[in-house]
Structure 1
């Protein structure tokens, strides 16, 4: 069983990494608009790394729970799950928009 303090720290780590992933992806989209392709690629790499960290935390939480309700579900946990899912969706959509920019700009 995970302690309340450990859970809070873990959930905050999930939120921070998911937010970083989404922010880097948004910055990459802004860089794509002006054709800064090296910056785009760096930011997408940072976004992917943050996304992997968030997913690793999420997977650890799922493993701790084992489908048996060992990890309490509270509002902050729901908020964290919302963050990771919206960040993942935003990243996927942003990557598609960047690919459209690449095509339009001939890159």
Structure 2
């Protein structure tokens, strides 16, 4: 496995972990466990940062002339990252709505 493939798998893994933590936060919030949900959302954000940093590293390499081969695996990683970011943002809003309902 080359360095680019390792980076791609790190993006996929961190994005998946982020998405999973965000959905776990939503499940907790639905049960009224908002403090635990907030911790899970923090975890989701940290995982998103990890994935985004890895993506930024690949982009920076490409900008500096180290061309990145566009593979199906790369497209898959980008798909995972974007979906996890969207899910996290939407879940964050949903949790806020649940908090407002609780009041």
Does the TM-score normalized on the shorter chain lie above 0.5? Answer: yes
- Listed as ranges, the gaps of 5+ residues in structure 2 are none
Residue of 32, 35, 41 corresponding to 1:35: 32
Aligned to 1:52: 49
1:59 Cα deviation after fit: 0.5
Aligned to 1:64: 61
Moved over 4 A (4+): none
Number of residues of Structure 1 aligned to a counterpart in Structure 2: 103
- Listed as ranges, the gaps of 5+ residues in structure 1 are none
1:13 aligns with 2:10: yes
TM-score when normalising by structure 2: 0.95
- Aligned-CA RMSD value: 1.3
